[in-house]
Amino acid sequence: MTGGIGSGKSTLLALARDRGFTTIDADDISHELSVPGGPLFRVIVDAFGAGVIRDGVLDRKFLASLVFGNSDNLVRLNGLTHPIIGQEMKRRLDAAVTSAFVAIPLLRPTHRTELNCDEVWAVIVDPATALRRLVETRGMDSEDAARRMGSQVSNEARSALADVTLVNDGTEEELKERFDALVAERGL
């Protein structure tokens, strides 16, 4: 499962979890591995300096200000962190005892084979709707939200990698209905 910020990936992942599927979220793994002593903490501090630490933990807001809008820093961060996150995702997938839904915001074509994905689902949303959601539901500053959205691939690029594209410009109830229909259609 892939989608940009504000698209509804987390909602879909929660639906899958509620329906008894194993769920694995690349963003959650990133947070787990970035705590002090975690394998990503030192890598990030070494790459971006002690200024990314506040009160002993990563200052995610400051780190975001360094990477979103600066493609060199974003590429550097992703290059350092994605292999470690990918190894943990693979470990969790190998341990799964049910069908699994994996949320990967920055899906690469190689993920399909690396993680042995049966299908790729892309959840997309109109950029104006995503921006509104980020401001209204996450309390993000509109400039920060727009900068983050601008650093991601387009809906068209996501859809090109996907077997299924879910357009999530409607209500959460409509998204639930489409998700349940897809799960039933595929016999999951």
Q: What is the pLDDT of residues 15-59, one digit of tens each?
A: 999 999 999 999 999 999 999 999 999 999 999 999 999 999 999
Contact 52, 63 (CB under 8 A): yes
- Fold (topology level) of 1-21+101-188: Rossmann fold (3.40.50)
The boundaries of every CATH 3.40.50.300 domain in the chain are 1-21+101-188
Contact 24, 188 (CB under 8 A): no
Contact 93, 24 (CB under 8 A): yes
This prediction's pTM: 0.84
Torsion of the alpha carbons at 142, 145, 151 and 154, rounded to the nearest 10: -90
- Regions in the chain scoring below 70 on pLDDT: none
